[in-house]
Amino acid sequence: MRMARVTVGLDRGVHARVATQLCECAAQYDSSVFLRTHRSASAANVFDVLALGIARGDEVTVMADGTDERLALAAVVEFLTADPHPGMQSAD
């Protein structure tokens, strides 16, 4: 089992569309993927993911267990921490 603690970077957190995309991302792998905030949820179940109420800036522990756990963990971590505005640069 592998795990990583991340800060959610998604602008609107994990709402219905994003939860569906997250579940689709996790489903690409043979490994079981779980998210943990105040409780745990399978990343394979959109309703469980939504029930976590994940908002931008929340700390989430991502856990993956299985034959491709390293790849699954990396994909879900990248999804949750994605730059909400790729290509935009801050004005210095």
- Residues annotated catalytic, as ranges: 15
User: Chain-centre distance of CA 11, in angstroms?
Assistant: 13
Residues 54 and 62 sit within 8 Å (Cβ to Cβ)? no
User: What are the start-end ranges of the E strands in the chain?
Assistant: 2-7, 32-36, 40-42, 59-65
